[in-house]
Amino acid sequence: MLEGLVSQESLSLNSMDMSVLERLKWVQQQQQQLQQVVSQSSNNSPELLQILQFHGSNNDELLQSSFSQFQMLGSGFGPNYNMGFGPPHEAMDECISRTSSCHMEPVDTIEVLLKTGEENRAIALKNKRKPEVKTRGEEKTEKKIKIEAETESSMKGRLNMRNTEASSDTSKETSKGASEIQKLDYIHVRARRGQATDRHSLAERARREKISKKMKYLQDIVPGCNKVTGKAGMLDEIINYVQCLQRQVEFLSMKLAVLNPELELAVEDVSVKQFQAYFTNVVASKQTIMVDVPLFPLDQQGSLDLSAINPNQTTSIEAPSASWETQSQSLYNTSSLGFQY
Amino acid sequence: MERQIINKKKRVFSLEPNKNPSAVFTRKYTSHLVPALKKLNMNKNSSKQTVKHEVDMALALSAQEFAWSRFLLQKLSSSSNPTTTTSSSSDGIRILERPDKEGGNEEGGIEERLRELKKLLPGGEEMNVEEMLSEIGNYIKCLELQTIALKSIVQDST
């Protein structure tokens, strides 16, 4: 019977386009069989390890027992858990004895895990969703699925970072702070969230989404942010960019100070400069800006490093200016500004 | 609505220039800065500090919709010898130190970077994180426009 289910699973796993409902139903079917095996083999991959954590919803003992199991088994396993037929059986039996639930058919479930790593990650993620359906409301399920959709496509490091983020996010609600218990922290958080302080967690989640939206907007503005992943790197880039802009302004004002006595600013020139400065922001006139760059006199102040920055800056500045109009709606609508439209 | 501006063989067609916020800002900025520079010029009193002061003042006056501009105005008006948001020497040192700090992408590192970002923004330290992030966005935009305006002014005069 399970072989049939396994084959179906193999088909379904290959296409991640299954609807959420189908997946949930399938997961509910698989839950009893797969739970323990997943926990056993998850010592080989951090993603599966997290399923284990989710499965042990309110049962910390299960986790700690399985952690000790992992440490026992860990030496015997390589990255390829196809080899681990022998030990897992014993370990699983022991695990079963320690835990309250979980009937299993070890061999078949291991067959499931014989599939590629990608599929196993898929299993892991589906199993992740399962306890959510049980313990939480639909809202949180959706949010988690969103997060999982991201983790599917991201690296492990990113996954861990997200976990740390989420755990620190509600760290006020948790008490622990040990090293490997970072993942246990996650569990504690999730357990408590399901129970009592829903409002807090929801509010925090909303706040986090706002902040991440703003970070995305900043990512569009600051050139070169797309290549960096993660909040820290992006913040670094933003800081760098702001400092560059400020230095550039300072440099230009120093230059202006030097040139000021020589400036012949007549009234007509004022309007000329205004409009020149104005139309440089129009998208169509990008070529004039490109011309500006080599004409920019470099020798007077002797600051060659800034001049090296400038050509890069001008090309990048034009792009954001072009996108100003597309961004302006979001920019000015979110904050209550009286900007003329 | 079209406005046609003929300027030394350059033609500029602008559709509804009042609705383009970057154009509005740039126009305001230059209209503040250039007369101020003229005045400075006439007074024969121009030091580097004072020009910087005028530059920042023009920035603050052109962007009065934003919170940071209010803080900037406060700073400028309160200090007689204006040291503005950028201090070149300390910035240089800070840039050199940062490679050491950048070591790990940790959770604590994010807090640190947010604090540093707050320092960069005028008045950023009194805002909370969300507000600060959105203010940083339009601050960056205005800085970019400011550099463009300054460049064009400088270039025209040389």
Cα gap A320→A218, rounded to integer Å: 11
Q: Which amino acid would we find at residue B52?
A: K
Is the torsion defined by CA of B12, B16, B18, B23 positive or negative? negative
Contacts of A245 in chain B (CB under 8 A): 140, 143-144, 147
| Among the partner residues B136, B145, B154, nearest to A259 by beta-carbon distance | B154
Q: Flag if B141 and A221 touch (Cβ within 8 Å).
A: yes
Q: Phi and psi at residue B54, in whole multiples of 5°?
A: -65, -40
Contacts of B34 in chain A (CB under 8 A): 265, 269-270, 273-274
User: B48: distance to nearest CA of chain A, Å?
Assistant: 5
Q: How many Cβ pairs closer than 8 A exist between chain A and B? A: 229
User: B96: distance to nearest CA of chain A, Å?
Assistant: 12
The HSE-up count of residue A205 (CA atoms within 13 Å, CB side) is: 16
Mean pLDDT computed over A164-169: 44
Tokens of B76: 């400028």
* Domain parsing of chain B, residue ranges: 21-157
B70 in reach of chain A (CB within 8 A): no
Q: Flag if B22 and A295 touch (Cβ within 8 Å).
A: no
Calculate the dihedral angle through the C-alpha atoms of A326, A327, A328, A330, rounding to the nearest 10 degrees. Answer: 120
User: B51: distance to nearest CA of chain A, Å?
Assistant: 6
Tens of pLDDT, residue by residue over A205-238, are 899 899 888 888 888 888 888 787 778 888 888 8
Q: Flag if A253 and B152 touch (Cβ within 8 Å).
A: no
Contacts of A275 in chain B (CB under 8 A): 5, 7, 12
Cα gap A32→A312, rounded to integer Å: 58
pLDDT confidence of residue A243:
92
Give the global pTM: 0.44
| Among the partner residues B55, B141, B146, nearest to A320 by beta-carbon distance | B141
**CA B150 to the chain's CA centroid:** 10
Top-confidence range, A5-14, A78-87, A235-244 = A235-244
A325 in reach of chain B (CB within 8 A): yes
- A329 CB neighbour count, 10 Å cutoff: 10
Q: How many residues in chain A?
A: 341
Contacts of A301 in chain B (CB under 8 A): none
Tokens of B57: 């003042």
Q: Say which residue the tokens 């008006």 belong to.
A: B77
Q: Flag if B150 and A249 touch (Cβ within 8 Å).
A: yes
Q: Flag if B109 and A232 touch (Cβ within 8 Å).
A: yes
In sequence order, the 6+-apart residues with CB closer than 8 A to the CB of A170 are A189, A192, A193, A200, A201, A204
Contacts of B48 in chain A (CB under 8 A): 253-254, 257
Contacts of A317 in chain B (CB under 8 A): 144, 147-148
Tens of pLDDT, residue by residue over B52-65, are 787 888 888 887 88
Q: What is the mean pLDDT of each run of 10 residues along chain B (158 residues)?
A: 45 62 78 76 62 80 82 78 46 45 58 86 83 88 88 79
Q: Flag if A246 and B120 touch (Cβ within 8 Å).
A: yes
Mean pLDDT computed over A283-288: 40
In sequence order, the 6+-apart residues with CB closer than 8 A to the CB of A86 are none
Q: Flag if A295 and B5 touch (Cβ within 8 Å).
A: no
Question: Between residues 302 and 321 of chain A, which touch chain B (CB distance below 8 Å)?
Answer: 313-314, 317, 320-321
| Among the partner residues B20, B52, B144, nearest to A325 by beta-carbon distance | B20
Cβ atoms of residues A13 and A114 within 8 Å: no
Cβ atoms of residues A270 and B141 within 8 Å: no
Cα gap B147→B132, rounded to integer Å: 22
Cα gap B99→B116, rounded to integer Å: 14
Look at residues A16, A234, A47 and name the one whose alpha carbon lies nearest to residue A157: A47
Cβ atoms of residues A277 and A321 within 8 Å: no
Q: What SS3 class is residue B12?
A: strand
Look at residues A313, A262, A252, A224 and name the one whose alpha carbon lies nearest to residue B59: A252
Mean pLDDT computed over A264-291: 48
Interface confidence (ipTM) of the complex: 0.75
Cα gap A69→A97, rounded to integer Å: 13
Look at residues B89, B112, B90 and name the one whose alpha carbon lies nearest to residue B100: B112
DSSP state of B11: E
Q: What SS3 class is residue A315?
A: helix
Cβ atoms of residues A207 and A71 within 8 Å: no
Query: In the predicted model, is pLDDT for residue A112 greater than 60?
Result: no
Q: Any bridge partners for residue B2, and if so which?
A: B15
